[in-house]
Structure 1
Amino acid sequence: MLQEVALSADDLIGLVAAYNPKTDADRIRAAYEFGASMHDGQFRHSGEPYFTHPVTVAALLTEQRLDDATIITALLHDTIEDTKANFADISRQFGREIAELVDGVTKLTNLQLSSTETKQAENFRKLFIAMSRDMRVILVKLADRLHNMRTIKYQRPEKQVQKSRETMDIYAPLAGRMGMQWMRDELEDLSFQVLNSDRRNSIMRRFVTLRKESGDVIEKITTDLKLELKKAHISAQVSGRAKRPYSIWRKMEQKGQGFSRLADIYGFRIITENREDCYRVLGAIHARWTAVPGRFKDYISQPKSNGYRSIHTTVSGRDGKLVEMQIRTREMNDVAESGVAAHWSYRDGVRSENPFAVDPANWLKSLTERFDEADHDEFLEHVKLEMYSDQVFCFTPKGDVIKLPRGATPIDYAYGIHTSIGDRCVGAKVDGLRVPLWTRLKNGQSVEIITAEGQRPQSTWLDIATTGRAKQAIRRSLRAEDRERFIKLGRELARVAFEHMGKDATPKALATAARRLGLSDRDELLAQLGSAELAARDVVSALYPNLVTSPAVEEITRDRAVLGLASDQTSTRANCCKPIPGERIVGITYRGKGVVVHAIDCPVLVEVEDQPDRWVDLHWHAGPHAPAYDVTLELTISNDAGVLGRICTLIGEQKANISDLNFIDRKPDFYRLRIDLHLRDVEHLHMVMTALEAESNVAALHRFRDMARKPS
């Protein structure tokens, strides 16, 4: 008896018939039954019958409204590779067209595209040859890879990493280059989840926090948009979504910005009836909200090479949040969603004609025409140049490839080769012609850097460079000549400032102050002091802010410290993370315990992520809190006379009360102990820890949290 699968033949036929009433239902059913019989007895790593995979791939392709031949190929795409069926069997039962498509997918599956060897270039040739013969082969392969990535958790860890890297490097950019951006986004994010799960989870947690703080931003802004369009008498569909974690992380890395400052966290799409309405919608949006300078792009008047058309604008929306708007017509949206698949899509049983669709086969043809004249390395470089369109690939005079972000200049290129080349750069030639150093480089250009002995980086280069590597090297070089003089002067300024406050400017104190101020090390702090980039009082204040008294203000007691509770709710502080005022918090309801207040980064929260009804949005009462919150610090100190006394004195100077002290390890040369303190808030904690870290006899210090004491 054949194994049952999640989607029946009739279900699948129904999906196809929804967009193609003239579908050959008998032929699809025959393919379904043939595939089920061939894969009978085979199972996936998840334990499901193997045939659930080809059926799911076929269902994914129905979302692109593809023709019967593509759907049948999806159902049979693993039969030649994994069953006793062969090319002749497929050809005899379903025709040569289907057999060649299935055979093409099989050959793609066997290519080792992630190989780092020379054969990677040859395998790329085979990939594009197969694509140029029939584009539907790669459409099936991409859907196959998408489903495999969605279920990758059942693979061995090393296999997950290998497939994820291959997907990130090859299949995701290929999907994007073919215009299927939605598929690229999902493939990248699924790979990101395997290759860097910690960062992805961090972004997801920030989304949860942001939603609790701001409510459903998407629903609010969507409502605002619909109201403005109604006022302008414009008929359009409005939808919004949060960007995928990988997309957000990539923009954070590219722009060097934190999550809270990123404009592209939310995206909204407005689909209009015609091109004229697109510009009317743009006018209505800019009349209602303030446009962000430099964030407007009109891809309708200047379409992308893959046929993508849309207007992009970023505005300062509700509550000052920056949001991106995309405006396009229905036909433009079909191309944006389907890319190359738009050429094969059906409506009402006939191939749909979309005036905006661009056939990527022209791109493939331009590649295959070079097969006979290019060697392996040249071909591979050319393929990657075409696929990774969000980067710039330039060539050295020797033919080596230098990868740079879009918008890079010859300065970035020079430092991309070597720091010494960048430091001695006096000019550049692009494709043999002398150009200014601020010229923006383009894909495929040959760049030659002109150098001279004795040349030093100029301060104006900071405005020209775009890469962090170049900017950092320029700043480092600009400071190098005067650095020693500035360090010597800064050391004297620090000594005088510390003595004035009755303290010593010890090397450890200065190193702690540097860390507190976000500087790389003690010498950097002294150099900035000597060059007047940093004031001596700021250095002292970073270590001993409590030496400056402030006027008395009424303190907030613990019974009214937490806001957000219902009138019948009571709260207690979690024993595991012991949050204090100033830290982000959330409440979790426990039977018989009321609401327990946790820090937002408490590991215990992972256990209740799937129970949103237990979460309570809480925050601390603004203002000065009473020093009533117990915090435990764990220290390692030198076993010398007077050290413990100085530690207690430092804590007292910060107006913190010691409630308990326990030695947990005693050695001839050091002690390890835990000190319980009563503190006001997180700033008070930082003041105490900073003062202790500056003490030379403190070898290690951290906040101790007993995660074994979690609520039940």
Structure 2
Amino acid sequence: MLRQYELVERVKAYDPQADEDLLNRAYVFSMKAHGSQLRASGDPYFSHPIEVAGILTDLKLDYETIATGILHDTIEDTVATQEEIDRLFGPSIGRLVNGVTKLSRIETQTDSERQAENLRKFLLAMSNDIRVLLVKLADRLHNMRTLHHIGNETKRRRIARETMEIYAPLAERIGMYGFMDELNELAFLHLEPEAHNSIAARLAQLRAGGSGRVDAIGKSLRALVNAHGILADVTGREKRPYSIWRKMQGRGVSFEQLSDVIAFRLIVKDEDSCYRALGAVHGRWPMVPGKFKDFISTPKRNGYRSLHTTVVYGENARIEVQIRTQQMHDQAEYGLAAHWAYKQDGDTAVASDAYPWINDLLEVLQDAASPEELLENARMAMFQDQVFVFTPKGALHQMPRGSTPVDLAYAVHSDLGDSCVGAKVNGRVVPLRTVLANGDQVEILRGPLGHPDPAWESFVASAKARAAIRRHVRNKAQAEAQAMGGKLLDSLIKRLKVSVDADMMATALGQLMLPDQAALELAMARGTVSDSAVSEALLPGSTAGQRPRRTKRGKPGPAAVSIHGLAAGVAFELGPCCHPVPGDRIVGVRIAERPIMVHAIDCPELGHEAGEWLDVSWGEESDGAVARLAVVVHNQTGALAAMTAVLAAQRANIVNLSLKHRDREFHTDIIDIEVSNLKQLTTIIAALNNLPAVLSVERFRG
């Protein structure tokens, strides 16, 4: 563990103007706050924040960030408060410590609402000050280095998976490949220990069998570029077990079938030397087709620049070669941290300017309708490979792999996406679902009547496009519900035969616990408040003496359905996709801000529902529902009359009838009928199947 004076000396070595007194006070405060707390290793807990601060000094970050590293666990794990940190160390450090505290609660295996809320807070804190992320990455790196001290295997695996799914991709997104590689490698060791150890053992065998091979190839590369007048620092290394494992998984090959497990890096003077060195390498050894990438002319979205190529060296040995300048190398190792050092004079806005994906994530935050949607879109936006496409004016856009013209339209501007009606790729009109490839030139066609199509959601690849499409669908559904609710409210007021003034409406809204008339209209449209409740709120006593609606059979109508397993007054709907009836096995699905949706247990849509499943059953007073049948009928005179006669004889009321398909021999009718229960429906299906004109009858799902 670094001593107090050693830590201060490290900071002063690269930032002579650092506030030495503040760093000393932070060191003492953190040590006292953590007191006798111990880590799983048995070391004093205080050693952890000091090691985190040490990692941050390696990045040469400003003294406020170093102080945040020292203090980052005080609010979460001690009795220290936000107000105390603000008072003793200033609001800037207090804000950073608070941001890291909230971020530290992200967990991928916990309740989705808590996870989404912590992710939301983190993204907002990160967008305001990128140092929040830098401190947290250093915190997670030290935790992963000491993860083996935790005895609970389940906890170790949870932390490792969280690291691989959240923190390593975030490090990659800001170009900190050194952090990313180590985080992935440490997580892999705990998630797949057998695979890790097996690959490590094979690498050791390879190293023993080809002693000095890496050095020999390195000397050949150095001699080659020197002969072309290029000075280069050449280093060679074996790839890490995690990197090799990913290649094995991605290509579906064994370790023995991999030939490119050795990588070499050439650090040269300037950009011109990069291309000259590349020409020398390609002139000496044949390049493997498809393995050359120029990230200098087209940098990655995180600012990464380098030339990558793979060549065949010697007897069919493939080696990967990376060529870059020292500045490019620093960027590759430290990413954003290479720019955000003490010399940046506190310019915390660098994040959103240099990394537009952060702004895209913030748009996703605003558009997400549920915790599940926020998490899905955030992962999509952060953790995807990229393709490079061009607009007709030559503007370069980096898009997630699998993107379509719709994704590009929304990447350029939300209005362009909303008004998109078509696209041209490389001058040719193509379907909007066309997957874009590297180098495509894409022109978006727009029209005054264009609008997002809900079907786009099935093929877009970017979180921004998906969030915008879902937003449009929600807004349209809300507008339609609002209009329907307005009509329902007007109709109810007419039935009451009263003039409702502002005072009456305000009183009614108070009783119904709704903020305004718009909310009342939506509630009526969605069925979360009944007509009788609204009538009673507007005109007390207006529902006295009313009786339940009855049919000619003298029983409550088929709409009289109750569900066991739901709290009293909770709104629910029967799934329009499966049309369950009393007697079917059912399950409820809860989605935030929507009525509970009740599905038949064999409904095909259940596999696509993202909400919480509820164990429900039919109430004893349930007396009917609408069932939907698909009837294939011979195309002959009198067939429809015969079917309606059967339904009448079985006392089933036809709610709706439509023709789904028709040809010369047959037609398929979709019939909605009111039935009391599954037994009655089964009898009706059997009776219809007995008709000579009917080929088949089955429940319609969809």
Partner of 2:310: 314
Corresponding residue of 1:132: 127
Q: Find out whether 1:58 has 2:46 as its counterpart.
A: no
DSSP 3-state at the match of 1:203: helix
Does the CA contact (< 8 Å) of 1:7 and 1:55 recur in 2? Answer: yes
Deviations 1:84-130 (A, max 9, x none): 22222222221111111111111111333443634433332222111
Cα 1:407–1:218 change in 2 (3 A) is: farther
Contact 1:307–1:357 under 8 Å retained in 2:
no
TM-superposed deviation, 1:190: 0.9
- Residue by residue over 1:48-105, the C-alpha shift from the partner in whole angstroms, topping out at 9 and shown as x without a partner, is 1111111111111122211111111000101111122222222222111111111111
SS, match of residue 272 in structure 2: helix
* Matching residue within 370, 373, 390 for 2:367: 373
Counterpart residue type for residue 236 of structure 1? A
- The DSSP-based 3-state class of the residue aligned with 1:328 is strand
Shift of 1:295: 0.6
| Distance across 1 between alignment mates of 2:35 and 2:132 | 25
Matched with 1:419 is none
Q: Say which of 286, 289, 298 aligns to 1:290.
A: 286
On the 8 A contact 2:163/2:187 being kept in 1, the answer is yes
Alignment of 1:88-103 (within 5 A): 88-103=83-98
Match 2:273 to one of 274, 277, 290: 277
In structure 2, what residue type is equivalent to 1:277? S
User: Which whole-Å CA distance do the structure 2 matches of 1:74 and 1:112 have between them?
Assistant: 21
- Among 79, 82, 98, the alignment partner of 1:84 is 79
**Aligned AA for 1:53?**
H
Distance 1:350 1:196, change over 3 A: closer
Aligned mate of 1:145, from 140, 144, 168: 140
Q: CA distance change for structure 1 residues 138 and 447 in 2, over 3 Å: closer, same or farther?
A: closer
Q: Distance in 1 between matches of 2:384 and 2:21?
A: 43
Q: Which residue of 1 aligns with 2:194?
A: 198
Query: Which whole-Å CA distance do the structure 2 matches of 1:286 and 1:357 have between them?
Result: 37
Cα 1:360–1:116, aligned 2, differ >3 Å: closer, same or farther?
Answer: farther
2:163 match: 167
Q: Distance between the aligned counterparts of 1:329 and 1:352, measured in 2? A: 27
Hey, what's the Cα distance between the residues in 2 that align with 1:307 and 1:358? Answer: 13
Residue 396 of structure 1 is matched in structure 2 by none
Q: 1:74 to 1:213 in 2, by over 3 A?
A: same
Over 3 Å counting, the alpha-carbon distance change for 1:210 and 1:406 in structure 2 is farther
Aligned amino acid, residue 190 of structure 1 = L
Q: Please give the alpha-carbon distance, in whole angstroms, between the structure 1 residues aligned to 2:102 and 2:183.
A: 21
One-letter amino acid matched to 1:66 = L
Partner of 2:176: 180
Instruction: Quote the Cα distance in structure 1 between the aligned partners of 2:102 and 2:458.
Output: 41
Percentage of matched positions with identical amino acids: 46
Q: What amino acid is the match of 1:265?
A: V
Paired amino acid for 1:220: A
Q: 1:104 aligns with which of 82, 99, 119?
A: 99
Task: Tell me the alpha carbon deviations over residues 259-299 of structure 1, each in whole angstroms, 9 at most, x when there is no partner.
Answer: 23324412211112211011111112122222111110101
Q: Cα–Cα, structure 1 residues 435 and 103, in superposed 2: closer, same or farther, change >3 Å?
A: closer
Aligned to 1:265: 261
- Counterparts of 1:108-507 in structure 2, within 5 Å, are 108-115=103-110, 117-155=112-150, 156-346=152-342, 359-376=353-370, 377-390=372-385, 406=401, 434=431, 446=456
Amino acid at match of 1:369: E
1:503 alignment partner in structure 2? none
Residue 343 of structure 1 and its aligned partner are, at CA, apart by: 3.0
Change (3 A) 1:116 1:149: same
1:160, CA displacement in angstroms?
Answer: 0.2
CA distance in 1, matches of 2:98, 2:43: 25
Report matched runs for 1:505-584 at 5 Å: none
**TM-score of the superposition, structure 1-length normalised?**
0.53
Distance 1:75 1:125, change over 3 A: same
Residues 113, 123 of structure 1: 8 Å contact kept:
no
**One of 57, 71, 75 as aligned partner of 2:70:** 75
- SS of 2:335's partner is helix
Matches of 1:407 and 1:215 in 2, distance apart? 43
Letter in 2 for 1:285: V
Q: Which deviates further from its counterpart, 224-233 or 19-28?
A: 19-28
Find the counterpart in structure 1 of residue 697 from structure 2: none
Is the 2:305–2:324 contact (alpha carbons within 8 Å) kept by the matching residues of 1? yes
- Bigger radius of gyration: 2
Between the aligned partners of 1:341 and 1:159, the Cα distance in structure 2 is 30
Q: Take 1:251 and 1:358, find their aligned partners in 2: how far apart are those partners?
A: 33
**Which residue does the alignment assign to 2:510?**
none
Check whether the contact 1:90–1:99 (CA below 8 A) recurs between aligned residues: yes
Structure 2 residue runs without a partner (length 5+): 388-399, 405-423, 441-451, 460-702
**SS of aligned partner of 1:15:** helix
Cα deviation 1:126-172 (Å, max 9, x = unaligned): 22111112111111111111111111111121110111111111111
Match in the other structure for 1:500: none
- The 1-side partners of 2:344 and 2:356 are apart by 23
**What residue is the counterpart of 2:36 in the other structure?**
41
Deviation at residue 391 of structure 1 after TM alignment: 8.0
| TM-aligned CA distance change 1:54 to 1:357, over 3 Å | closer
Partner amino acid for 2:358? Answer: L
Cα displacement string for residues 617-667 of structure 1 (whole angstroms, at most 9, x for unaligned residues): xxxxxxxxxxxxxxxxxxxxxxxxxxxxxxxxxxxxxxxxxxxxxxxxxxx
- What is the CA deviation profile of residues 511-562 of structure 1, one whole-angstrom value per residue up to 9, with x for unaligned ones? xxxxxxxxxxxxxxxxxxxxxxxxxxxxxxxxxxxxxxxxxxxxxxxxxxxx
Pick closer, same or farther for the CA change 1:44–1:230 going to 2, 3 Å.
Answer: same
Contact 2:50 2:69 in 1 (8 A): yes
SS of the residue corresponding to residue 32 of structure 1 reads helix
What letter matches 1:372 in structure 2? Q
Instruction: Measure the CA separation in 1 of the matches of 2:309 and 2:275.
Output: 11
Report if the CA contact (8 A) 1:340-1:358 is conserved.
no
Counterpart Cα distance in 2 of 1:230 and 1:433: 50
Change in 2 beyond 3 A, CA 1:203/1:446: farther
Deviations along 1:461-486, one digit per CA (max 9) or x if unpaired, are xxxxxxxxxxxxxxxxxxxxxxxxxx
Counterpart of 1:16 (choices 7, 11, 16) is 11
Shift in Å, 1:233: 1.8
Deviation sequence 1:241-267 (CA, Å, 0-9, x none):
221111110111101222233244122
Q: Are residues 263 and 386 of structure 1, via their aligned partners in 2, closer, same or farther at CA, if it must alter by over 3 Å?
A: farther
**Alpha-carbon distance in structure 1 between the residues aligned to 2:15 and 2:298:** 33
CA distance in 2, matches of 1:358, 1:271: 30
> Is contact 1:77–1:106 with CA below 8 Å preserved after alignment?
yes
> How well do the aligned residues superpose, as a CA RMSD in angstroms?
3.4
Moved more, 69-78 or 239-248: 239-248
Measured against aligned partners, the alpha-carbon deviations of 1:400-430 in whole angstroms (never above 9, x if no partner) come to xxxxx95799xxxxxxxxxxxxxxxxxxx99
| SS of corresponding position for 1:291 | coil
